[in-house]
Amino acid sequence: MSDFLAANNPCGQNLLQLVATGNAIIAELLRLAEFVPPLFKVINIRDAGKYADIIFDFSYFSKQEYYDELINNRADLQDLDDEFRENNLTLLTRFYQAFESVHKYGIEFNRYIEDLSSGTYLQQTVESVIANEAGKQLMTEAVYLFGVMLIILDLKYDGAARERMIVSYFRYSGKRNALDSNIDEVGKLLARNDGFSLQPYKRPIGYPENYFRRIGFREDVIGMIIGRLRSDDIYNQKKAYTELEHQTAAYATQAAMLYVLLYFYPDVLHNKQAIMREIVDKHFADNWVINLYMGMTVNLIDAWEPYKAAKAALNNTLDIQAVKSR
């Protein structure tokens, strides 16, 4: 463990730095969520009043010249646009930097996996990192934290609000002409999930796995990490929870991580009944409402309803006789 995290081991240090960055990004997303300007959160843009003609979602990009000309040809809209930019650009910049950080984090993880696979880190492979005690913890956390970022973005930031803030930043910041701008990629990752709604709650088919798939994490790597979680106690909690009835408490932390990772590899949720039965028996035998991250909870009965294998495995533990026997 100490060798992997040694100061002169770039493989371990880079992964450790990535995980530290992930935690910082989540903290910033949660902090900023309280400061989304109300004008960006309206359900119907017409409810934005006089600002309705200068706030756009991603449909702006398909008619950019039309909308820009519309504003430039009206002095009242130009004045309003200038006022809105002056009052909001600093905050919009901070929001965009947080959104961009999420995208960069996903790209950095993909690059780290690519470097492991190509031999950039001497004597280290994906398999050797996952076999290492510190490596398997950090690799799991790296993927889990990215999933949490995406979940927070949908729970704390309405999809339409995200799009409007990104477009406003694009229009006001001068990034439209910057050669190093990756605003297109950020937009693709953070585009609203059609059919998803918090109030009233609506969940489209294929959500959130299609959302998670946008970044392109390798399923074979996710599968190896899931396999390690299935077989190991990665945080060595069983030493503190020796009684069988305390097993789910011992595995609570890695259970939350496993819940998130499964959305990066949804075939297990849908079709791998034996694997899901093993996962549920170990991690969720009597723990069906889990703490996902910092007080964010998930009811597995609702969350896994669309997934055949996951639902069947969970139903085995919900049987009245199984519950009474615990």
DSSP symbols for 252-299: HHHHHHHHHHHTTSHHHHHH-HHHHHHHHHHH-SS--EEEEETTEEEE
Q: Is the peptide bond before 208 cis (omega within 30 degrees of 0)?
A: yes
In angstroms, rounded to a whole number, what is the distance separating the alpha carbons of residues 84 and 88?
Answer: 6
pLDDT at residue 180, as a whole number: 62
* H helix intervals, the chain: 10-32, 38-41, 64-72, 75-118, 126-131, 133-156, 159-173, 183-190, 209-212, 219-231, 247-250, 252-262, 266-271, 273-283, 300-303, 308-318, 320-324
In angstroms, rounded to a whole number, what is the distance separating the alpha carbons of residues 138 and 277?
Answer: 26
In angstroms, rounded to a whole number, what is the distance separating the alpha carbons of residues 256 and 141?
Answer: 10
Tens digit of each residue's pLDDT, the chain (326 residues): 458 999 999 999 999 999 999 999 999 999 999 999 999 998 888 888 899 999 999 999 999 999 999 999 999 999 999 999 999 999 999 999 999 999 999 999 999 999 999 999 988 999 999 999 999 999 999 999 999 999 999 999 999 999 999 999 999 997 666 556 789 999 999 999 988 888 778 899 999 999 999 999 999 999 999 999 999 999 999 888 878 777 888 999 999 999 999 999 999 999 999 999 999 999 999 899 999 999 899 999 999 999 999 999 999 988 766 555 55
**pTM of this prediction?**
0.94
Report whether 204 contacts 193 (CB < 8 A): yes
Report whether 229 contacts 140 (CB < 8 A): yes
Q: Compute CA distances 75 → 47, 52, 66, 80, 82, whole Å.
A: 22, 16, 16, 9, 11
| Angle formed at CA 183 by CA 90 and CA 11, multiple of 5 degrees | 100
Q: What are phi and psi of 129, to 5 degrees?
A: -65, -45
Q: What are phi and psi of 121, to 5 degrees?
A: -95, 110
CB count, 10 Å around CB of 237?
Answer: 16
pLDDT at residue 197, as a whole number: 84
pLDDT at residue 2, as a whole number: 52
Radius of gyration of the chain (CA): 22
